[in-house]
Amino acid sequence: MSGVGILSAIIIGILAGWIAEKVMKRDHGLFTNLIVGLIGALIGGFIAGLIDFPFSGFIASLIVSTLGAILLLALLGLIRRR
């Protein structure tokens, strides 16, 4: 999450986790949304780096974090089904 401070990163993490929660039709709490969003930011940032997708700022970080969080929840869903 380049271009944002620590407070913005926390807000982006909560929002990304919440959006991913709604998209994947899950029900988590605030803390879980934060964790999912922050891990999603790491996953999304890693994938964006692999495909050479430059992003910076609040909105771009939120989009990348949300996509990473959705991917994380999808992978966790696949693992839990087994």
**4 pLDDT more than 80:** no
Q: What is the pTM of this model?
A: 0.87
Percent over 70 (pLDDT), the chain: 94
Mean pLDDT of 53-81: 89
46 lies in a domain?
A: yes
74 lies in a domain?
A: yes
1 lies in a domain?
A: no
55 lies in a domain?
A: yes
Alpha carbon distances (Å) from 55 to 1, 45, 52: 8, 9, 9
Q: How many domains does the chain have?
A: 1
Q: What is the DSSP letter of 21?
A: H
14 lies in a domain?
A: yes
The predicted pLDDT at position 1 comes to 59
Q: In this structure, which amino acid lies at residue 4?
A: V
Mean of per-residue pLDDT scores for the chain: 87
Range of the domain at 74: 6-81
Indicate if the alpha-carbon torsion angle 49, 52, 54, 58 is positive or negative.
Answer: negative
